[in-house]
Amino acid sequence: MDDIPKTARRSDLLIGMTLAELFLLLLFTVWYSIFVSGPTPGDPKILQIENERLTRENAKLRSDLTDCRKNLDDLNERLRWWREHYPDTPYLNSIEAVKSFCADVGRGKPRCQTGASNLLVEVLAVHKDVSLRLLTDAPQLADSLGSWGVSHVKAGTVLSRTDDIERFLQGVRGYRLNDREGPRECRFDYDLIYGDHEDYFYARERFEKFFYSGGRSQASRKK
């Protein structure tokens, strides 16, 4: 039947069982090293490592929070100062609005009229002969001067008589000190055309009590 001796078959069976036992032993050793000998979720070493990590993260977050609070305090202080000194600041939602606002802040006194319409008069001073040409309408200023203002304070009007000029200037003074929104001072702008250096200093000393300077040019050099 079978030419293989019984002793050989026993040896093969014994070797096979031995190898199987070794494999099981190796598998048990690996399992033990991972799940028994290794760290467990409740292991004190693991808890200590995790606690140290959380402690470091907590310290960093506290430091970041302290910096954020300092920055917030600084911003709140700046905002408080700004609101105290510029309570009527409009909402600035564009670069153009910011530039316009900065220009107005640099004026010292706000405009009496918005935009280019705040440039009210052109002053011509040559050899101390002075005339004023109105460059834009100013209805509220005109109304404040009564019937004379309605007939004289409008674009294109030229004032050359001394009494008319003085009446106009005093009207400007009264208007800019008490505008329609209350006793908050504003300033119109003016352009100056002068003849020589004496006219230049005379006109500036006289008219910049009432206006802010918009532009200055010499009569002989004016294009």
pLDDT values of the chain reduced to their tens digit, one per residue, 223 residues: 455 555 555 566 666 667 777 777 777 776 666 655 555 556 778 788 888 888 899 889 999 999 999 999 998 998 888 788 767 676 677 787 777 667 666 677 888 887 668 999 999 999 889 999 999 999 989 998 999 999 999 999 999 999 999 999 999 998 877 655 555 578 899 999 999 999 999 999 999 999 999 889 998 755 4
Same domain, 134 and 211: yes
Type of residue numbered 38:
G
Please say which residue of 30, 58, 75 terminates a domain: 75
Same domain, 118 and 178: yes
Q: What is the pLDDT of residue 51?
A: 85
Q: What is the pLDDT of residue 223?
A: 46
Phi, psi of 211 (to 5 degrees): -130, 165
* Number of domains the chain contains: 2
Q: What is the pLDDT of residue 1?
A: 47
Q: What is the pLDDT of residue 53?
A: 87
Flag whether 196 is in a domain: yes
Are residues 188 and 208 in contact, defined by beta-carbon separation less than 8 angstroms? Answer: no
Which residue do the tokens 């910049």 mark?
208
Same domain, 65 and 130: no
Give the Cα separation of 48 and 37 in Å (integer): 18
Q: What is the pLDDT of residue 44?
A: 79
Give the Cα separation of 163 and 113 in Å (integer): 25
Tell me what percent of the chain is helix, strand and coil, each rounded to the nearest 5. Answer: 60, 15, 25
Please say which residue of 52, 75, 98 terminates a domain: 75
The two tokens of residue 63 are: 């430091």
Flag whether 96 is in a domain: no
Q: What is the pLDDT of residue 120?
A: 95
Element (H, E) at 26: helix 6-35
Q: What is the pLDDT of residue 94?
A: 79
Q: Which residues contact 56 (CB under 8 A, 6 or more apart)?
A: none
Residue 126, beta-bridge partner list:
129
Distance, C-alpha 156 to centroid of its chain = 40
Q: What is the pLDDT of residue 155?
A: 95
pTM for the complete prediction?
0.53
The two tokens of residue 14 are: 């014994």
CA distances from 165 to 125, 134, 138, 161, 168 (A): 13, 11, 16, 6, 5
Residue 156 gets the label, from left (phi > 0), alpha (psi -120 to 50) or beta, of: left
Distance, C-alpha 118 to centroid of its chain = 26
Same domain, 62 and 117: no
Flag whether 81 is in a domain: no
Are residues 173 and 188 in contact, defined by beta-carbon separation less than 8 angstroms? Answer: no
The whole domain housing 52 covers: 42-75
Flag whether 203 is in a domain: yes
